[in-house]
Structure 1
Amino acid sequence: MSKLYKIFTGSIVVPLVAIIFGLIVGAIIMLVGGYDPLLAYQSLFEQVFGNLYDFGETLREITPLILTGLAVAFAFRAGLFNIGGEGQFIVGMTAATFVGIKVTGLPSIIHAPLALIAGALCGGLWAAIAGYLKAKRGVNEVITTIMLNWTALYLGNYIVNSFLLPEGMDHSEEIQPTASISIQSLVNFFNDARMHWGMLLAVLASVFFYYFLWKSKQGYELRAVGFNPNAAEYAGMNVGRNVVKAMFISGVFAGLAGAVQVLGVFHYQSIMSGSPGIGFDGIAVALIGMNHPFGILLGGSLFGILTYGSAGMSFGAGVPPELIRIVIGSIIFFIAAQGIVRWVLKPLYSKRKKEKVL
C-alpha cells in the first residue's frame, strides 16, 4: 500500500466515506423500524436549511460543539485523554455568568471580553487540576477529569444558588446587557436566531489550534511529549510542565464554549439537574474530525446539523430523535474502524492506478 494511498484515504476520503456509511446504516435501521429514510433525511435537510431562523439556530448549535471538540483533540495531540470537557464547560459557563452579572459599570467593549476571558481561564484552570495530578502524582487523567465533571456540576449549582439566584426563581438573573456577545444585526437578519460572536471565536480557536501545535516551538514540545514522553524528557523537555500546559489550553477551549453559551445564547444560568452534554459531545466531534482542527470544524458542523435537524426528522417523518444518535455512532464507528473503509476503497484506488499506468 503506497504512501499516497494512505494520505489520500486518511485525510479526506475516510471521513467522507464513514459519513456515507453512517447515513446508510441509519437508513437501514429506519427501514427496519418502518420509517421512510428518504423522507427522514429530506425532513432533516428542510429543518436545517428551510428558513433563515433554523439555519441561524443550526450555526448556534454548531459553535460550542467545535470548541469542546477542540478541547478533546488538543489534549489528545499531547497524549492525554481529556474526558472532563463537560466539567470545564460548566465552570466556564459559571465564571462568565458571575462576571456578567456581578461586574457593573463597564462598557461592552471591556465587559464582554472580560466575561469571556474569565470563562476561558477558569475552564483552563479546572482542567489544569487534572494535569497537575497527572504530572506530579501520576494519577490517570481519565479518572480525575470524570470526577471533576461532577464536582463542577455541583459547584456551579452552589454558586448560582448562593450568589446569583433571585428569590423564587430556578435560574440566575440575566447578565448585564454590556456582557452580551449577541450580534443584533445578524439576529435581525436570521429572524431572531440567537447569533453571537462565539461563532467567529470558534473559527479563530481552530486557527490558533493549528498554528500553535504545528507552527510553534511549544506546540512541537507538546506533540513530542504526546508521541513519546520518555524520548521528550531525554531531549531535555519538561514533560510534567507540558502535561499541565496541554490540559490548561484544552480546558480553555471548553471553558470558552461554556462562556459563549451564557453570554450569547441564554444570558442566564439555570440550576442544573444533570450535565448539559456538550462536553461529552465534543469527544464525538473530535473523533469525527480525526483530532485535526479543520476536521473538527467540519465534524462539529455535521454533528450540529444532525442534532438540530433531528427535530425535523421527528416532525416530518415520525422518526424518534434518538435514532440520529445511532447515525452519529455509526459514523464514529466507521472512522474508528478505518481498516474497513480502506478495504472498501482499495479496489477502487487500485483500478485508478492501473488506468493511469495504461
Structure 2
Amino acid sequence: MQISLSMCKQAARPTLRIPGNAIAQILQGQKEKVVVVMGATGAGKSRLSVDLATRFPAEVINSDKMQVYKGLDIATNKITEEERCGVPHHLMGVIDPESDFSAADFRASASSAVRSIHLRKKLPVIAGGSNSFIQALIDRDFRSRYDCCFLWVDVSMQTLHSFVSDRVDRMVERGMVKEVRDLFDPQADYSSGIRRAIGVPELDEFFRTESSSDEETRVRVLAEAIDRIKMNTSKLACRQVEKIMRLRNAKGWDLHRLDATDVFRKSGKDVEAAWENMVAGRSAAIVSRFLYDRLRVAYGGSAVSVEAPLMAAAG
C-alpha cells in the first residue's frame, strides 16, 4: 500500500454569515488555536497535515528533527513541493546540515512561526515524528497561550514495519544511495547535524569499501546496509509510539487517536476512500469542533461554517 500525497483536494469550507464583531464578542478571551499531528514514521502525518490545510486556512510547521536540515531530501523523506499542494511549510530544509539544531532551537523557531502564522490569520499545524521537539515546545508555557488539538495517526506495528520496508526500497530506487554518497566524508562526525539521519551511518561501510571491493562484495555490503536502514527505521517507529503513549499516559496529553491500519491494508482506489473515511474526514471533524464549537453553542447548536478562521476574530 502506498498513500499518495499528490492529490491536492480542496475541500469546501462551510461559511457562517454573521457579523465579524459578533464573532469577536463570542471569542473574547479565547486562546489562539494550534493543531499538532503526531505519529510514527510512515504513518501519514505529512499527508494529513496537507489535507487539513486544504480544508482550513492553515500553514504547516515541520517538527521532524532531520527534515529541518537542508539536503538529503530522499533519505529524510521530505514532502515534495508537489505534495505540499501550495501549503506553506515552515522549518523544512532550512537549517545548515553541519550545525546542531537542538530541541531548544526548535522551541524558539517554532514559537516564532506560530506567532507569524497567527498574525496572517491562519491556523498553525505542527506535524512531524520528533516527539522530543514537540514536548520541548508544548511542555513550557506554550499551553498557557495556546489551545492545542492533538491528532495521533496510529498504525499497527506489524503493518507499519511492512510499509516502512517497502518505503526504503522505493527510496533506494529514487536515488537515496547516491544522495548519501554525495554527503559522505570519511572524517565526518555522525553524532551531529544531518549525518544522524537514518541511512547515513548505515551506508558508511559500503562507501568505505566499494572502490576496493569486487562486484559480489559490493552487492552484499549494500544489501546489508539497506537491511540495517529498514531495521533502524522500524526501531525508530517503535520508539516514537512509546513516546506518544508516555505523553498520553504520564503527561496527560489529550490525544485524538486515528487508527489508520486498515488504510495500509488497502490497494488501488480503495486507499483514498479509506484514508478519507478513517483519517482525513475524522480529523477534519475533530478540528472543526476544536475551532468552531463556541460559535455553534452561541448560535443555538446549529451547523455553522465560518468565512474567516476563528483565530482571525480572536486576534
Is this a same-fold pair by TM over 0.5?
Answer: no
User: With CA pairs under 8 Å and 6+ residues apart, which has the higher RCO, 1 or 2?
Assistant: 1
More strand by share: 2
The interval holding the TM-score normalised by the smaller chain is under 0.3
Give TM-score scaled by structure 2 length: 0.27
More helix by share: 1
Give TM-score scaled by structure 1 length: 0.25
